[in-house]
Amino acid sequence: MFLFDLLFGKRDAAPAATVEAPAAAVREESAAPGTSIRFHPELIGKLTADHQLLLSLFGETSAAAARGDVAAAAARLEEFRVALQSHLLTENIRLYVYLEHALADDAASHALIHDFRHEMDGIGRVVVGFLGKYRDLAAHPERAAAFAEELAGIGKVLVERVRREEETLYPLYAG
């Protein structure tokens, strides 16, 4: 949960307690065991739509940087930051916490969820650092070349992460 602590200023997050319950016992109208987080049938559609928005904003940021429009790149980057924070918060609470509790009895699935969540923390540290580093890009156009280079690297990681979430993680929730 480092990413959310970093994004929102919280330093000591207590880990969620895991309560064992079979995934099949968790119904749409009930909360994940040990939580008040309910299943939301529209969640995967929302998260997938978020991915499309994030990838679009990222593409617009890259295009603006490539044509040397630092002001537009900075503006799109800020939109990306806000959208990413919202997406990650939703994903962390509604998806990860729900799945970790709902799949507590399925060791393999629970381990997969745990690994995805902690991998995202690592990716999040890098992305948050990047967003902070270039938050004032419009005021420092001399940093445009370094920005474009780092942006390309961030893009590769994000595209791969989105693909893996949609192919592997989201079906666990929807199924």
Give domain limits for the chain. 41-174
Determine the average pLDDT of the residues in 6-23.
39
| Predicted local confidence at residue 33, as pLDDT | 81
pTM reported for the whole predicted model: 0.80
Residue 29: what pLDDT? Answer: 56
Instruction: Report the pLDDT averaged over residues 149-158.
Output: 95
On the question of pLDDT at 23 being above 50, the answer is: no
In this model, does residue 14 exceed pLDDT 70?
no
Q: Which residue has the higher pLDDT, 24 or 66?
A: 66
Q: Supply the pLDDT for residue 175.
A: 72
Place of tokens 């420092």: 140
Q: Measured between alpha carbons, how far is 134 from 149 in angstroms, rounded to an integer?
A: 12
Give dist(CA 159, CA 55) in Å, integer: 8
Please determine, for residue 28, whether its predicted confidence score (pLDDT) is greater than 70: no
Distance CA 128, CA 121 (A): 10
Contact call for residues 62 and 152 (beta carbons, < 8 A): yes
> What local confidence, expressed as pLDDT, does residue 64 receive?
97
- Return the pLDDT at 31: 76
- Please report where in the chains the tokens 């603006």 appear, as a residue: 64
pLDDT band at 37 (very low <50, low <70, confident <90, very high): confident
Percent of the chain with pLDDT over 70: 83
Rounded distance between C-alpha atoms, residue 36 and residue 1, angstroms:
19
Burial group, residue 145, by CB count within 10 angstroms (0-12, 13-18, 19+) = exposed
Flag the least confident range among 53-62, 97-106, 140-149.
97-106
| Averaged pLDDT of the chain | 84
Mean pLDDT, rounded, for 63-88: 96
Query: What band does 21 get if pLDDT is binned at 50, 70 and 90?
Result: very low
